[in-house]
Structure 1
Amino acid sequence: MDKQTVVVLFGGRSSEHSISSATAGGVLGAIDRERYEVIPVGITRDGAFVLEEDRPEKFPLDADHLPEVVDNGTRVRWPEPGGDRMLRVAAPDGSTVDLGRIDVVLPLLHGLHGEDGAIQGFFDVLDVPYAGGGILDSAVCLDKHFTKLALSAAGIAVAPGITVRQSDWESDPESIRRAVSELGDVVFVKPSDAGSSVGVSRVDGGEGLDEALRIAFAESPKVLIETQVSGREIEVGVLAGRDGARARASLPGEVVLTTRSFYDFEGKYLGGDGVDIVCPAEVDESLIAELQEAAVRAFEAVDGRGLARVDFFVTPEGRLVVNELNTMPGFTPISMFPKCWIASGLSYRDLITELIEAGLHR
């Protein structure tokens, strides 16, 4: 069988650049090399497309080394729409080399310019197949304000909260403080369009609201302030169906906080103390079925196309509240999304293959 050429795309201009790079390290190390030819393409923090080394060990993720794509002077040249789909690279000396005909792109980008529909639209214009979410679901799910609107319209429960724009806060902070006081003693302040818990703060009794908003506004001019929902934090992976089949959901995993007040960046990616990842979650069969059905419903509500991780709170009364959806969830080998699918019987390598094949056939 002839191998198909997969462009693994990572890095990017968002604050989640290093997470994307670490994800690429995991994928480059696990992708089925007997089935695919791999071309690693990195995007620098300034937005340049460069040809990267095919060395997974170059992109580890630990507290002492946050990986990144460095400008090496090369420039990747994407094919023209309707052309030969040939990927080329311009070397620093100006010479150009053909890298191979693209069969599919695997975007492993998080945040703005990668998980918001922008890169998806770029590849649609080029008529180049790609894996993962489409334009609409990516855009809706990156912006948590619009995610909540879409879910609410579908009758899916979300956390009570308000959306605050930076201009509103600067012009009338007292009205914002009054609105926040009505949300309860504990609220979470989060940028509307950032992920990986970047810029997220917990505010107790109104103390620290100004600082929390300053941190969030540094990431986005639009911020959500939400009531704390007490309950278990449960996450479910969803993969789009093929050939008209309905999407399917993984077994649920649980984020168990021991000493941390919430699941922050360090806890998610740097192995910080105070949080345990339990997968599969210890829940009964009826709740598993309810979570899986609710995850697929949420995926359908945002017109999900490739994959998503659906994050829930399960209250003590058994009520399901959707916190958010991620259309390119953390995808390192230690991330919840792969762990959920591994627990469901799909290996990390096979999960990567599933995404690539879905991109090739949609």
Structure 2
Amino acid sequence: MEKLNVVILFGGKSGEHDVSLESAASVYRAIDKDKYNIHTIGIAKNGKWAYCSCGPDEIQSGKWVEHEVEGSKINFIPSQKGSVGIELNDGSLVPVDVCFPVLHGPRGEDGTIQGLFEMAEIPYVGCKVLASSLAMDKIMFKKIMDFEGVPQVDYVYTTRFEFSDDPQGFADIAEERLRYPMFTKPANMGSSVGISKVGSRAELIEGVKNALEYDSKVVVEQGIRAREIEVAVLGNSEVEASVAGEIIPCKDFYDYEAKYLANESKTLIPAGIDKELENTIREMAIKAFKAIDGSGISRIDFFVEHESGTVYLNEINTMPGFTKISMYPKLWEATGVGYRELIDKLIKLAMEK
């Protein structure tokens, strides 16, 4: 059977650019080269795209920018000639059978790049436009989960305009509905970027200001003493959930540094919870994934409160970290699906979708 042309797309303008390079390099190393022709497109931090002749080492180190194929053009906008693909300087065209966008954060998993693929009619790994945008916007996501009756911690939210107009007024609202400690978060950001734990009004106002550096909307959540449990899901119309895993952060909470820069955070797979609780979490994960019309891939994060044992949904990550040691692949490995097989399944789901 003729091999499919798979484009691994990586980088991007978001604060998670470097994480994307790690994930993309890992996918490149593991993907079945007997089944797929691998092509690579990088997006620099300034937003410039480049079709590159490079391998995983160059991607991981960031040196892919030195390997742009001279005279190549990336054409993902359909023309009357129908030449969607990668145009080479000799006039030939590399068609794109499927794209694996290993992009994290804004402009990568928020529906924008997915909309481009839809317009170009290129199959792609991951959730579609609606699910991607809903999962990225924490405020809209919470409203959908409220409608679906999925338990979440209490929260309030604000916008840059509303907050700058009356920061003390917003603090009044937050203190009326929530108690300290609270967490301030940009509404549209991933990898725990821009999150602060706050324990006073002054810290609350400062935390909102910090979050507004990353987005124009901010959500403030009730802080609770809880275990952090994660589940991986896979599928389109039929969705499977992996075994549950547990994050044991080295810091007060699992922020960007604890995820990527510190070595002390630990993961426990499977999580140290009883089977009944794990099944409840897995069922809730599938329900939440279907509620936003998810497809392909997502990692879904939960809190289990220490005192009450109550389960709260935290968030859905529609393009989670994808290195071999990332939580999503490790959860599936523990469920019986190896890393290479997982990549293969995701590509098949993309073609099916």
Q: Does 1:298 align with 2:310?
A: no
Report the Cα offset of residue 159 of structure 1.
Answer: 1.5
Question: Normalized per residue, which structure has more helix?
Answer: 2
Structure 2: runs of 5+ lacking an equivalent: none
Aligned to 2:224: 229
Aligned to 1:360: 351
RMSD of aligned Cα (Å): 2.0
Which of 268, 276, 279 is residue 286 of structure 1 equivalent to? 276
Aligned length: 348
Report the Cα offset of residue 283 of structure 1.
Answer: 1.4
Does the 8 Å contact 1:268/1:335 carry over to 2? no
In structure 2, how many angstroms separate the alpha carbons of the residues matched to 1:361 and 1:109?
21
Structure 1 runs (4+) deviating above 3 angstroms are 67-75, 81-86, 95-99
Aligned to 2:86: 88
The amino acid across from 2:100 in the alignment is L
SS at match of 2:92: strand
The amino acid across from 1:2 in the alignment is E
1:38–1:83 Cα change, 3 Å? farther
1:82–1:9 Cα change, 3 Å? farther
SS at match of 1:106: strand
The amino acid across from 1:23 in the alignment is S
In structure 1, how many angstroms separate the alpha carbons of the residues matched to 2:18 and 2:161?
30
Identity among equivalent pairs (%):
36
Report the Cα offset of residue 295 of structure 1.
Answer: 0.5
In structure 1, how many angstroms separate the alpha carbons of the residues matched to 2:303 and 2:63?
33
Aligned to 2:244: 252
In structure 1, how many angstroms separate the alpha carbons of the residues matched to 2:80 and 2:233?
32
In structure 2, how many angstroms separate the alpha carbons of the residues matched to 1:4 and 1:342?
25
Q: Does 1:32 align with 2:22?
A: no
Report the Cα offset of residue 205 of structure 1.
Answer: 2.8
In structure 2, how many angstroms separate the alpha carbons of the residues matched to 1:240 and 1:30?
20
In structure 2, how many angstroms separate the alpha carbons of the residues matched to 1:82 and 1:138?
30
Structure 1: runs of 5+ lacking an equivalent: none
In structure 1, how many angstroms separate the alpha carbons of the residues matched to 2:140 and 2:289?
14
Deviates more, 1:76-85 or 1:284-293: 76-85
Does the 8 Å contact 2:329/2:339 carry over to 1? yes
Deviates more, 1:116-125 or 1:12-21: 12-21
Does the 8 Å contact 1:129/1:360 carry over to 2? yes
Q: Show CA shifts across 1:268-327 (max 9, x none).
A: 123x14421111111111112111111000101111122111100012322210010011
Q: Does 1:135 align with 2:125?
A: no
The amino acid across from 1:115 in the alignment is E
In structure 1, how many angstroms separate the alpha carbons of the residues matched to 2:123 and 2:147?
31
SS at match of 1:168: helix
Report the Cα offset of residue 342 of structure 1.
Answer: 0.8
- For 1:1-362, what aligned pairs fall within 5 Å after superposition? 1-60=1-60, 67=62, 70=65, 72=68, 75-78=73-76, 80=78, 86-89=84-87, 95=89, 98=92, 100-182=94-176, 183-241=178-236, 244=237, 246-257=238-249, 259-270=250-261, 272-316=262-306, 317-362=308-353
1:282–1:53 Cα change, 3 Å? farther
So what's the TM-score if we normalise by structure 1? 0.90
In structure 2, how many angstroms separate the alpha carbons of the residues matched to 1:131 and 1:83?
26
1:308–1:81 Cα change, 3 Å? farther
In structure 2, how many angstroms separate the alpha carbons of the residues matched to 1:314 and 1:83?
55
In structure 1, how many angstroms separate the alpha carbons of the residues matched to 2:305 and 2:153?
11
In structure 2, how many angstroms separate the alpha carbons of the residues matched to 1:305 and 1:81?
28
Report the Cα offset of residue 78 of structure 1.
Answer: 2.7
In structure 2, how many angstroms separate the alpha carbons of the residues matched to 1:6 and 1:83?
22
